[in-house]
Amino acid sequence: MSKMTVKDINLKDKTVLMRADFNVPQDANLNITDDTRIKATLPTIDYILKAGVKRLILMSHLGRPDGKVVAKYSLKPVAERLKKLLGEPVLALDDCIGGKVKEGIKNASERVILLENLRFHPEEEANDANFAKELASLGDIFVNDAFGTAHRAHASTEGVAHYLKSAAGFLLEKEIEYLGNAIEHPRQPFMVILGGAKVSDKIGVIENLLPKCDAILIGGGMCYTFLKAQGKAIGNSKLEKDKLGLAKSLLDKAKGLKKEILLPTDHVVVDSISADAKTEIVGEDIPQGKIAVDIGPQTISLFEDRLKTAKTIVWNGPLGIFEMDAFSKGTQEVAKFIAGLKDVTTIIGGGDTAAAVAKFQLEDKMTHISTGGGASLEFLEGRELPGIAALSEK
């Protein structure tokens, strides 16, 4: 990796300003219901603290307060959880810039300080230069460990990096390493599994990865637009009518490149989508009035057979409506299958795919699970992410 990482900088007696992704889910009483994202930044935080820094100033956003102060999006609960996880005091400030913040930092006896939600200021998402400069003035060195927001050019991810020596934290470094390597130097055979609701979300990924991979296996809501483009009957299944031409041209492109696009050959269908709907399995053509909600057993076997020789697998998007147990079998079986493969690099694109792998308790069986949904998607599209591009070169 040509970008500086936290290990390339002498941190002793310095004040480190670190962008983390503490955008965690909370219940109605503001209790954090899943602290995975907080735990994911601990290795970087621990490393920085052990390096003898003067202090560590953490910053993040939470939710979408749209540039206004919204009490339920305060980072105070995150400070409490951090305190427990780190086993040391954490000072939570009431804002992220201004005289009071500087005063609070100067007088703090705590080594770890958490600024209030960056998005309480409209300047954060606008990547306002003065706001970025204000943030930068709080530290000597900037560390970015928030992959989940690396695809956004915001003041705290891209702007700050122009004013301070900037390095990647371990989490960001791992994402760049795994996602970047998987795409640029994959061990062959290289297979891609794509699912999720919409073709439109995955066009860039297909176009970028088709020339590089051996096969793309498509399930989820997006596969019905492809099947319809092949002239198959899809009943009432999800269809993006305006993407039919595009689906056809992608299928033709694959043929031209002699690459395989594998589509489902059977389906789990229902009359209407509800948790207790009566399911049945049908072949390639979906009857009138039926809605496909998952791939069928024949497709599961077909996909597994194709995946068994893979050395690199990148998966982005579930293969059915996995949130409902009755429609989760395709996603679960394929996840279990690739989790059991030997000598294969398995990379799970964040968001719903990561949630599915977590639901089936297979996280520790995958090589890498991305922490950012949108960011990993753009990375797989081959785009340069502003939050990574802005970091200092080694």
Helix/strand/coil percentages in the chain, nearest 5: 40, 15, 45
Catalytic residue among 3, 14, 19, 37: 37
| Catalytic annotation present for 159 | no
Provide the β-strand partners of residue 91. 113
What is the b/e burial string over 93-104, where b = at least 16 CB atoms within 10 angstroms of the residue's CB?
A: beebbeeebeeb
Cis upstream peptide for 43 (omega within 30°): no
Strands (E), the chain: 15-19, 55-59, 90-92, 112-114, 141-144, 165-168, 190-194, 215-218, 260-262, 267-270, 280-282, 291-295, 312-316, 345-348, 368-369
Catalytic residue among 63, 67, 204, 374: 374
Cα–chain-centroid distance for residue 342? 25
Catalytic residue among 220, 221, 351, 373: 351
| Catalytic annotation present for 37 | yes
| Catalytic annotation present for 81 | no
Catalytic residue among 76, 102, 198, 248: 198
| Catalytic annotation present for 374 | yes
Measured distance CA(366)–CA(34) in Å, rounded: 20
Distances (CA, A) of 19 to 56, 168, 226, 270, 298: 11, 10, 40, 45, 46
Neighbour order of strands in the sheet with 291-295? 280-282, 267-270, 291-295
Q: What is the DSSP letter of 392?
A: P
**Element at 255 (helix H, strand E):** helix 244-256
Spatial contact of 222 and 199, defined as CB atoms under 8 Å apart: yes
So which residues are the catalytic ones? 37, 198, 351, 374
